[in-house]
Chain A
């Protein structure tokens, strides 16, 4: 049976920068979103 891959090639593309993604965060450490401890 002849099969053909229907998935598109996995090519990285530019997306939102980390700074832009964090710009609206209520709290961040510059690298990620900061939240209180789940266990507190």
Chain B
């Protein structure tokens, strides 16, 4: 059993293809691990082993699925009371593509309600614990997915990233998390938070697994009007060196505000890049300091519109106070949404209100354009941008809940890439006081294969050992 759990997803799929491991054994090993979840990572577990198509490229390697993906007949609540018990009549495209490729759903994972949060403490179904230190948060919003993969409760997981919700929890849990180029993975069936930013991606134990999963997720989908597909097949990474690869370090994102332990791991990573033949130079992203401010206008504005659909009429929670239609709406939303969701709906509604639209949403969109231009300029000089993923390691459960701004700053290094729509990966760079520190690599739109290759070389040289968290 334990030997199976030590295999990466790609290795497990390889063993199945070679006939050395049956999909049933693989399923049972993880089903048993997941059933023993003491981290509150899972909200729902599949009962029966699914039929896996013979010869499927992913070999039946079970997949943990973030609770905001709609899955037919299976609870899909985005960790919100307003959708508790909701069983959608259809399945999200990304989840369906992965199941068709041979990665059946093992369970649904906990998250911050509607993906709003950076610690998983905003879940209506309780906080998730970080397997490296159970008194600490796993990050968020894909905290359950990250914790499940880090703890070996699942071989890999699918999450979503709006401002860092894949990369930041991957960083805090010592695993790999990739946010693809906006549009490359279909958003159909994802319960929407901020539609111009939301993007699904892999959370995996290593870089090769991330590439393998992404290869089977991307593609144009006529059910998502912003879907672009991906111009190339995602290549499985092979690079062991970084010769000739130019890395840019933005001073705006690597200076003040970083924990000393995070800075130390980052500095060591830059040395490692040079040892592998890469070059490191400063590259300026002058508007990135405004990214969080712009993000906390744009994302809540879009959320306030997206979350208007939860009204107690067509699905989900309905209040008992149904005296009038208005009281039904108001009480249903009052009872169903948690405090952070309400905060963002109010912020967003205000930002979009008549007379303020241009001052807030319009200005934020103009800042967003500046940030995207900064990246385009930077990529004239360098191939990839490297930063830490999070300014801190995993913080204590309860430590930041009373201070939304300090929580928002947890994503200060990931939000700029989200606003620019570009791909970025977080890989483990080392430990600080026994806790993982993630390193983020970002590249131009659709440069996933290049990012994955560089991340692969860096991963090999780093030799990070995540097995502690699976013990």
Contact = CB atoms under 8 A, between A and B. Distances in A.
Interface in A23-40: 23-27, 33, 35-40
Given A16-B89, A21-B89, A37 B313 contact: no
Contacts of B322: 36
B325 A26 contact: no
B87 A37 contact: no
A20 interface: yes
Nearest to A23: B89
B324 A24 contact: no
B398 to A, nearest CB: 34
Interface in B85-104: 86-90
Contacts of B278: none
Contacts of B314: 21, 24-25, 33
B312 A36 contact: no
A20 B324 CA distance: 26
B209 to A, nearest CB: 34
Given A25-B313, A26-B312, A33-B314, A38 B87 contact: no
Contact of A24 (B315, B323, B327): B315
Interface in B316-352: 316-318, 322-328
Contact of B324 (A25, A26, A37): A37
Interface size class of B (residues with CB under 8 A): 10 to 19
A16 B90 contact: yes
A13 B44 CA distance: 33
Contacts of A36: 322-325, 327-328
Contact of A38 (B89, B90, B326): B326
A26 B326 contact: no
A25 B315 contact: yes
Nearest to B311: A35
A36 to B, nearest CB: 5
Contact of B316 (A24, A35, A37, A39): A24
A19 to B, nearest CB: 9
B86 A24 contact: yes
B315 A38 contact: no
Contacts of A23: 89
Nearest to A25: B314
A25 B313 CA distance: 6
B314 to A, nearest CB: 6
Contacts of A38: 324-326
A26 B82 CA distance: 12
A14 B90 CA distance: 14
B366 to A, nearest CB: 30
Contacts of B325: 35-38, 40
A33 to B, nearest CB: 5
A4 to B, nearest CB: 21
Contact of A27 (B317, B318, B324): B318
A23 to B, nearest CB: 7
Contacts of A35: 313, 325, 328
Contacts of B90: 16
Contacts of A24: 86-89, 314-316
A26 B327 CA distance: 15
B335 to A, nearest CB: 13
A40 B312 contact: no
Contacts of B87: 24
A40 B325 CA distance: 8
Given A21-B89, A36-B322, 16 more contacts: A16-B89, A20-B89, A24-B88, A26-B312, A26-B313, A26-B315, A26-B316, A33-B313, A35-B325, A35-B328, A36-B324, A37-B324, A37-B325, A38-B324, A38-B325, A38-B326
What are the 4 A-B residue pairs with the smallest beta carbon separation, nearest first? A26-B318, A24-B315, A20-B89, A38-B325
17 contacts: A16-B89, A21-B89, A21-B314, A23-B89, A24-B86, A24-B88, A24-B89, A24-B314, A25-B313, A26-B315, A26-B318, A33-B314, A35-B313, A36-B322, A36-B327, A38-B325, A40-B325
